[in-house]
Chains A and B, each alone.
Chain A
Amino acid sequence: MKKLKKIFIFLSITFTIFLAGIVFSFDISLPKWFPFSAEQSLDEWEEKILKGRVTYEVKSQESESYLHSLSHSAASAIFYRVRQRYRAQDYPMISWKWKVEQFPDKEKLRFRPGIEKDDYAARVYVIFPSMIFFNSKALEYVWDETAPLDYVSISPFSSNIRLIVVESGKKNAGEWVFEERNVVEDYKKAFGVAPALRVGAVALMSDADNTEGVAEAYFDEINIGYKKER
């Protein structure tokens, strides 16, 4: 009996050390910066196809490199899974640079339901996954041609997805625009409460599947999970 007890204690300690090892081997490694400086930059990203395939390529021009997305009647995203989910309250900021070359033509879908008009030349997702999948939440930062700046809307797909217009109109089209957002503040504005779930992923998408047209954008210098120095 005593021997059994000793074995049990030994196994418990070994198991605890093993678990602690696993937990501490994952460093938070925040902030995470994506300069898209080489073709391998996309190795960390997973492709998620919704309808057809959007081309996501790292391109460079002179000394600059960036991510280029081109959609021909397609919708697919690239998705970065955060290795260790983090509290947005601890690292609330996200920033990126983007440029839209071509917006999907939504004019022809003016009278169609929202779900059929859900095309954006560029959007950035911050995803808060939940253990119970239908409780997952997502914030989508979009560049919209018509909706006003900071306009918050509920996605036609799910009330757990909220869209925030962070760039409006075509006046900046064709130019690099820098965006910096406080995810916690935006989440509060969109959902009415502070995020209870941790940030688990970031995704980028250009889609033109509903409009069956073309959407073209560029992304660069995505920086997630940092605090704003005051």
Chain B
Amino acid sequence: MHKSERRKKYLVKKGLQFRYLGLILAAVILPALLISGCLYYLVFSLMAEQLAIPESIAYNLMPVFHKINAVLIFGMPLIIAMLLMLGLRISHKIAGPIYRLEKELDEIAKGNFAIRIKMRSRDELIGIAQKINRILDMAQEKIK
């Protein structure tokens, strides 16, 4: 990515971005929690059922259970933080261009046809921006 295309602000349109962020997290975290929760329960229940003898469960299974819980307690916030950052980047890729498009269209609506909509090469709405820029080029030529 070109240096000038780097994002400086990741929160440009809070309402929209938070909605997308919520959707992304719900789509990723909820199924992941559901599946891992079921697996977690199933694995330990089956192992406990297999070991059967209470001392064996207490001696062999409980230490594993505690270790996994400790890993989860420390690991989960990290994973959630990483997902939040990823969600923020993805939501910015959608919300950033919409914010810019709205701002530039407001300028055009005021009669400033010299303005051109700038987008990053990998932004989602670059095709629309290029088409609007072409319309603006044609409009300016006709005015001349």
* A76 (CB) vs chain B CBs: closest residue: B53
A157→B52 contact, CB < 8 A: no
Instruction: Give the total of A residues in contact with B, Cβ under 8 Å.
Output: 25
B57→A77 contact, CB < 8 A: no
* A201 in the interface (beta carbon within 8 A): yes
B50-62: contact bitstring with A at CB < 8 Å (1 yes, 0 no)?
0111111111011
Chain B interface size band reads 10 to 19
Q: Is the interface of A mostly helix, strand, loop or mixed?
A: strand
Distance from A6 Cβ to chain B, minimum over Cβ atoms (Å):
33
* B57 (CB) vs chain A CBs: closest residue: A133
Known: A133-B48, A134-B62, A136-B48. A203 touches B55 (CB 8 A): no
> Which one of B48, B55, B59 has the highest number of Cβ atoms from chain A below 10 Å of its Cβ?
B55
* B60 (CB) vs chain A CBs: closest residue: A50
* A138 in the interface (beta carbon within 8 A): yes
Q: How far is the CA of A125 from the CA of B57 in the complex (A)?
A: 14
* A12 in the interface (beta carbon within 8 A): no
B55→A136 contact, CB < 8 A: no
Interface residues of B, Cβ cutoff 8 Å to A = 44-45, 47-49, 51-59, 61-62, 65
Interface residues of A, Cβ cutoff 8 Å to B = 46, 48, 50, 77, 79, 81, 115, 118, 125, 127, 129, 131, 133-134, 136, 138, 140, 155, 157-158, 160-161, 201, 203, 205
